[in-house]
Amino acid sequence: MFQNLIHYPEEGKIQPLVAQTYPLKEIVQAQEAFQKKHLLGKIVLKIIKD
Residues 18, 23, 24, CA angle at the centre, nearest 5°?
A: 110
pLDDT of 31 strictly over 80: yes
The rounded mean pLDDT for the chain is 86
pLDDT of 33 strictly over 70: yes
pLDDT given at position 50 = 61
Query: CA neighbours within 13 Å on the CB side: how many for 1?
Result: 0
Query: CA neighbours within 13 Å on the CB side: how many for 30?
Result: 15
pLDDT of 36 strictly over 80: yes
Q: Give the model confidence (pLDDT) of 10-30 as tens digits.
A: 888 888 889 999 999 999 999
pLDDT given at position 46 = 93
Query: What are the phi and psi torsion angles at 14 (to 5°)?
Result: -140, 150
Residue positions counted in the chain: 50
Spans of all domains in the chain: 15-50
